[in-house]
Amino acid sequence: MSATKREEVCSHLRYIRLELREMHQMLIKEDLLPDLNEAKEVLSQLDALLDLLSDKKVTKIKSQY
């Protein structure tokens, strides 16, 4: 994996980790469920990361959410 691609992956993972940490804090400390849009945003970030890591096109499955 090239250095540029590795940096992009690290950046995506940092962002996703922060978002998931915030959702976890809401669940644990405040007994609140995260906003559906926030969950969808994290899912789209994971899809972008998968696309970045995959050299070939990945067929997208229609989301049920």
pLDDT tens figures, 43-60: 888 888 888 777 655 455
How many CA atoms does the CB half-sphere of 37 hold within 13 Å?
A: 0
In a domain, 19, yes or no: yes
Domain that holds residue 48: 3-53
In a domain, 32, yes or no: yes
In a domain, 60, yes or no: no
- Are the CB atoms for 9 and 53 separated by under 8 Å? yes
pLDDT digits (tens, 9 = 90+) for 4-31: 888 888 888 888 888 888 888 888 888 8
State the total domains in the chain.
1
In a domain, 65, yes or no: no
In a domain, 58, yes or no: no
- Are the CB atoms for 52 and 5 separated by under 8 Å? yes
Asked whether the whole model's pTM tops 0.85, one would answer no
